[in-house]
Amino acid sequence: MNRQGSRYSVVFATALICVAVQVRADGPAPPPQTRRQMMKECMAKQKASDSGMPKEQMRRNCKDVTKTEKENAKAEKENAVQPAH
């Protein structure tokens, strides 16, 4: 292959990779977590942090966190539905 053909091959390969990365980035969003999954994840983080809090206090903190995350997700969804001005 000559020098010109080699350049085209490199440009083509680079463009192909860029398109593949873009398609992958625009793939389907992960399904939203359930409240139970969010609580389980939060409790695991709380236990891993080894803060010395009683389990009931960790549970209350996680309930607050999951409630806030759900409210934020709902607000984002509502804002995404409304057309931009």
Split into its structural domains, the chain has a count of: 2
Task: Name the H helices within the chain.
Answer: 3-25, 35-49, 55-81
Mark whether 59 and 46 lie in a shared domain: yes
Whose tokens are 């009931």? That residue is 56
- Same domain, residue pair 18 and 43: no
Q: Are residues 43 and 25 in the same domain?
A: no
8 Å CB contact between 66 and 39:
yes
Would you place residue 70 in the very low, low, confident or very high pLDDT band (cuts 50, 70, 90)? confident
Report field, pTM of the whole predicted structure over 0.85: no
Do 21 and 53 share a domain, yes or no? no
| Residues 41 and 67 placed together within one structural domain of the fold | yes
pLDDT, tens digit, 9 for 90 and up, residues 15-67: 656 555 554 555 566 677 888 998 999 999 988 988 788 999 999 999 999 99
C-alpha torsion sign, points 29, 30, 31, 32: negative
What is the residue range of 12's domain? 1-30
